[in-house]
Amino acid sequence: MVQSVVPEIIKESVVNLIQKGERADGRALDQYREISLETGVIKKAEGSARVKIGKTQIVVGAKPQIGEPFPDTPNVGVLITNSELLPMAAPNFEAGPPNETSVELARVTDRCIREGEVIDLEKLVIIPGKKVWMIFLDLHIVDYDGNLMDAAALGSLAALMNTKIPSTTIEGDEVVIDYEKMVPIPIKEQPLMCTLAKIGGELVADPSLEEDDVLDARISIGLRVDGSVCAMQKGGSVPLTREEVLKAIKIAQEKTKELRKSIPKA
């Protein structure tokens, strides 16, 4: 992810431990850190969530706005995902326009939500070709302690499941928005992401900050409720074998079942 320079001796100890089937924080190789998820934490946002995986913390807000659809997709609503790696989240994060890590995080999260069909975008159309709901999903990363991808996908899903939009009716050629009557946005699917890091030839789930810094390769897998794959992203400059990729999917299918338990019932 956002790798910072790690002393060789720390790298060696992390790798040695993992090759023995252990981790520095005492977890099993496929074990997640503690996860906490709250929704509706920001009243000013129509949907929101605060997610923590270990000490990694993201505040996600969803804000709907009425706008015009993209010309090539006139009959679907718009979803825009944006992330800010705040300089408060880590000493090596800097203020300024989104860097490549931030853009990658936003795009992979977007892919998981879009291809995982979280929102039924066709139901966000108000007047076909003219007026649609645009959902702005903003990821505010306030504390970085490894594995942003899984936290981002989990927080985004929870925030969207928590999002309400005002109901609209069309009278003549006017759109009437009723803020008194808020309705949940149409949720179709609940995909989640599971990230595995390849360290010392082994695959470990939910990489910690230290592991994120020393990993050889990383694979993030987006999975729908039925275990089918909806998004993937490989990171890191070391290659993965065919067998490793297939094994990663198997592990992810098990792990997303666990992650799913932290989602509040809609």
Binding region for another protein (CB under 8 A):
42-45, 48, 55, 57, 59, 61-63, 65-66, 82, 84, 86-91, 95, 97, 131, 136, 138, 140, 142-145, 173-180
With beta carbons less than 8 A apart as the criterion, state whether 231 and 108 touch: yes
Pick 152 or 223: Cβ nearer another protein: 152
* Min separation Cβ 143 and another protein, Å: 5
Q: Classify residue 187 by its DSSP letter.
A: B
* Min separation Cβ 69 and another protein, Å: 15
* Min separation Cβ 40 and another protein, Å: 12
* Min separation Cβ 87 and another protein, Å: 5
CB contact set of 103 (below 8 Å; sequence gap of 6+): 83
* Min separation Cβ 171 and another protein, Å: 8
Pick 24 or 225: Cβ nearer another protein: 24
- Smallest Cα–Cα separation from 100: which of 114, 113, 83? 83
Pick 21 or 172: Cβ nearer another protein: 172
Exposure string (b/e) for 123-152, b if CB count within 10 Å is 16 or more?
A: ebbbeeeeebbbbbbbbbbebbbbbbbbbb
Pick 84 or 202: Cβ nearer another protein: 84
Distance between CA atoms of 153 and 86, rounded to whole angstroms? 18
* Min separation Cβ 113 and another protein, Å: 16
Pick 143 or 216: Cβ nearer another protein: 143
With beta carbons less than 8 A apart as the criterion, state whether 146 and 56 touch: yes
Please state whether beta strands 131-143 and 78-85 pair in parallel, antiparallel, or not at all (unpaired). parallel
Pick 2 or 219: Cβ nearer another protein: 2
- Smallest Cα–Cα separation from 158: which of 50, 15, 19? 50
Give how far the C-alpha of residue 23 lies from the chain's centroid of Cα atoms, to the nearest Å: 24
